[in-house]
Structure 1
Amino acid sequence: MAKTYNFSAGPGVLPDEVITQIKQEFERNEHTHMSIIEISHRSAQFQAIVTEAEQKLRELMAIPEDYAVIFLQGGGSTQFEMIPLNFATNQSHIAILDSGNFAAKASEAAEMLGKQATVLNSTKGINYQKLPILPEHFDPELYDYLHIVTNNTIEGITFHQDNLPSTTGRLVADMSSNILAEPYDINAFDAVFAGGQKNLGPAGVTVAITKKDWLAQQDVRHVGPMMRYQNHIDKQSMYNTSPVFSIYALNLVLDWVVAQGGVTEMHRRNLEKAHKLYAFLDQSDFYTAPVETNARSLTNVVFTTGDLTRDKMIAKRAESEGLFNLNGHRSVGGFRASLYNAQSMAAVDALITFLKKVEKEQV
């Protein structure tokens, strides 16, 4: 069978080693003597998995003890509600830098909860090809926190560590599609969340990292029990039935990242993969990568021929050559090649070879 490559933005590609181990343990795990999808979330075996996963994530991201780490359900979209419910309790007013679709969704969710959400700056008018800049007059005292999306999966634009907005106020980050893909100083943030299905494992688990002292200051008496971070923290991510399989698989992915050399090595590889693809696109007269160079995503490379109908036809043809899920998001079209940690350089090489062939035929 010919080698195939999955460029899906999420659920994304998993390491081959992880999939192999899941296959081996799916029917009977050597420690539990039953299938991993059968074990209780209250069992000692699963509690050990949660503890291990938290410790590995702390080590990989250098998360200090004054931050809580929990594993939840509901994806990043539920975090759009949990974050303002738990943290927008003083001013009931949050600030947003609109760098893409998911920043806009976070703003909409906060507004629906009765919180005021002010978009300080947006690059929607230029199709999110540049990052929005924090206005000079921004006064963090007027807001409970500033919300950003570090990597915009749809638009392929990123706040890297060196171009994060500088604020003396609280900073919240949605890291769903580039957590562990490049280094961030966790101390720059007061809360971070990430849906697991893009770079941490299969769908079903969400990581939430919150500063304990900030959480302790909040009044959440009118927040439902499932939406309170503290309830999940107190029960070590087992306040209700946990997504057992997804956390188990996430733990295996963390093992794999550690074995590969950690976030530093992931970042080196991701730079190499992304730069190789961008270099090809930039020299091409047929394809265009529209995002400003210093804000380009390492994990979601967005590009187009300029003809969206042709782009669809090319993406469909790519499937016949073993290159799957290259269509851009339905809201923007074009192409999107997701190069998460588990994506190989061989996949990038195969993609470039295919794109060159198409270009040669068209010119």
Structure 2
Amino acid sequence: MQNIYNFSAGPAMLPQEVMQQAQEEFTDWQNHGTSVMEVSHRGKPFIEVAEQAEADLRELLGISCNYTVLFMHGGGRGQFSAVPLNISKPNGLSEHLVTGQWSVSAEAEAQKYMKTHIVATQCIIDGKTTVPTQKDWKISENADYFHYCSNETVDGIEIDWVPKSESGNVPIVADMSSNILSKPINIDDFGIIYAGAQKNIGPSGLSVVVVRNDLIGLARQETPSILNYELQAKSGSMYNTPPTFSWYLAGLVFKWLKQQGGLASIAKVNQEKSELLYKQIDKTGFYQNSVANEYRSKMNVTFQLNNDALNAEFLKQAEQSGLVALKGHRAVGGMRASIYNAMPIEGVKALVSFMQEFERKNG
């Protein structure tokens, strides 16, 4: 059987070992004679799953007791509303760095609840998309929070530095949906990080939120209970029935990451994968990437063929070769190879080999 490498941006591939374990346990989990989907979320067996998943996530990310971990509904987009409702005043101000489709959407959603201000946007310099650094803008000390997306899935832009206010008192909120757990980070730099699960954590529908404890208990009266951080924290993320199967699978992924050596080890693999692919893109000019080198995403590698007329044939032949879901987002076109943690380096090597052969025949 031909190896299939799934480069989908999300929902994305999960580690093969995790999928195999889930398959083996699907109808008889822990000798209960039922699936994990069929047991009570308030029963001892599932509580143990939930507690272990949180403990493993805390270990992987180095999350201290100053932060609360929440497993919530609604994916990353649900947090576009949850963040302003939980930590801002009705007449407050949120500030935003806009670098792509997802940070655009987060700012637009925040407008429903408060005043917003965009401090800077992505820009084109010498034909390459880049991000203005903080020497060109600053965060207002009057802001209730500052929001940015650390990795733009659609545009293939990743920011490796963390914005800060001069005083350090403005909470920094990061949408890490597409690069969480891909490398070590310093949690203490943030007030809140959140991530939809469907890229580096597990199935879609689940979101993981890490929120500093002093930002809990500030929710507005109109905040829906399902989005209220305080209610979710007090109930152990079980104010209502949680997405139990997604939570279980996330826990398996956390265990798998620990088996790989943790985030420092997986970061080295991710660096190697992205370098292989970008090296091929830059090699001859047959392929092109329009993002400045220092902002090229290690998770979502976007590229274009120098002849758009070849796009359809590239995608057709790639799929025939077992390389699927390479079509770029409709907003930007071209190609996109999403190479999250679960993508083995063999998949990237297979893509590079295909790109070389396609260029040989069509260049």
Query: Same-fold call, TM > 0.5?
Result: yes
Correspondence for 2:314:
314
Q: Which whole-Å CA distance do the structure 2 matches of 1:332 and 1:139 have between them?
A: 29
1:93-112 alignment, distance < 5 Å:
93-111=93-111
1:97–1:134 Cα contact (<8 Å) kept: no
1:318-333 alignment, distance < 5 Å:
318-333=318-333
Q: Which runs of 5+ in 1 are unaligned?
A: none
Residue 165 of structure 1 pairs with residue 163 of structure 2: yes
Correspondence for 1:194:
195
1:228-243 alignment, distance < 5 Å:
228-243=228-243
Q: Which whole-Å CA distance do the structure 2 matches of 1:260 and 1:267 have between them?
A: 11
Q: Which runs of 5+ in 2 are unaligned?
A: none
| CA positional deviation for 1:306 | 3.5
The residue identity in structure 1 corresponding to 2:315 is A
| CA positional deviation for 1:31 | 4.7
The residue identity in structure 2 corresponding to 1:166 is K
1:98–1:132 Cα contact (<8 Å) kept: no
SS of the residue 2:29 aligns to: coil
Q: Which whole-Å CA distance do the structure 2 matches of 1:248 and 1:54 have between them?
A: 11
| CA positional deviation for 1:33 | 2.9
1:57-72 alignment, distance < 5 Å:
57-72=57-72
| CA positional deviation for 1:90 | 6.8
When residues 346 and 92 of structure 1 are mapped into structure 2, their CA distance, relative to the original with a 3 A threshold, is same
Q: Which whole-Å CA distance do the structure 2 matches of 1:137 and 1:105 have between them?
A: 21
Q: Which whole-Å CA distance do the structure 2 matches of 1:308 and 1:331 have between them?
A: 15
Residue 20 of structure 1 pairs with residue 24 of structure 2: no
Correspondence for 1:290:
290
1:109-148 alignment, distance < 5 Å:
109-111=109-111, 113-123=112-122, 129-134=129-134, 136=136, 138-148=138-148
SS of the residue 2:354 aligns to: helix
Q: Which whole-Å CA distance do the structure 2 matches of 1:37 and 1:313 have between them?
A: 42
When residues 143 and 317 of structure 1 are mapped into structure 2, their CA distance, relative to the original with a 3 A threshold, is same
Correspondence for 1:211:
212
CA deviation map 1:104-142 (0-9, x unaligned): 00011011x231111111116679821233365534322
2:181–2:263 Cα contact (<8 Å) kept: yes
When residues 184 and 91 of structure 1 are mapped into structure 2, their CA distance, relative to the original with a 3 A threshold, is farther
2:85–2:219 Cα contact (<8 Å) kept: no
| CA positional deviation for 1:244 | 0.5
CA deviation map 1:176-222 (0-9, x unaligned): 00001012111100000000000001112110010011224x25223
SS of the residue 1:256 aligns to: helix
1:280–1:352 Cα contact (<8 Å) kept: yes
Correspondence for 1:38:
38
SS of the residue 1:129 aligns to: strand
1:200–1:250 Cα contact (<8 Å) kept: yes
Identity %: 36
Q: Which whole-Å CA distance do the structure 2 matches of 1:91 and 1:62 have between them?
A: 35
| CA positional deviation for 1:324 | 0.2
Q: Which whole-Å CA distance do the structure 2 matches of 1:78 and 1:6 have between them?
A: 26
Q: Which whole-Å CA distance do the structure 2 matches of 1:183 and 1:227 have between them?
A: 27
When residues 219 and 331 of structure 1 are mapped into structure 2, their CA distance, relative to the original with a 3 A threshold, is closer
The residue identity in structure 1 corresponding to 2:61 is M
TM-score, with structure 2 as normaliser: 0.95
TM-score, with structure 1 as normaliser: 0.95
1:198-277 alignment, distance < 5 Å:
198-216=199-217, 218-277=218-277
